[in-house]
């Protein structure tokens, strides 16, 4: 019989979107939290807005374990500058 592994054990790449207030240090705080969970950022995008406005941060990760990603996103969601809870999409790994 086949057994199904828990999703927390899944290891893949992720697309993440986070709505934040655009102010100095926000990106540093987010990347520090990802780093604490040993999550490496592959790409990062933030459109320019005026300081103090809400901005969407979009990033993709290198392959990482879902449990680590969920822990990091929970911590990120609690930041005072986060106005929209982080969302993520699993990305297929290509051989």
pLDDT at 93 over 80: no
Instruction: Give the tens place of pLDDT for each residue, 16-60.
Output: 999 999 888 999 999 999 999 999 999 999 987 777 788 999 999
CA distance 92 to 53: 33
| H or E element that contains 21 | strand 11-21
pLDDT at 95 over 70: no
Residue 34 φ then ψ, to 5°: -60, -40
pTM score, whole prediction: 0.86
State the CB neighbour count (10 A cutoff) for residue 86.
22
Position 74 scores a pLDDT of: 98
């Amino acid at each position: 019989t086949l057994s199904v592994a828990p999703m927390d054990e899944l290891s893949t790449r992720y697309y993440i979107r986070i709505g934040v207030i655009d102010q100095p240090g926000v990106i540093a705080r987010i990347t520090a939290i990802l780093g604490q969970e040993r999550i490496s950022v592959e790409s990062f995008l933030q459109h320019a807005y005026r300081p103090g406005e809400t901005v969407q941060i979009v990033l993709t990760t290198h392959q990482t374990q879902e449990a680590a990603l969920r822990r990091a996103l929970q911590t990120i969601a609690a930041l005072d500058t986060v106005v929209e809870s982080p969302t993520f999409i699993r990305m297929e790994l290509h051989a």
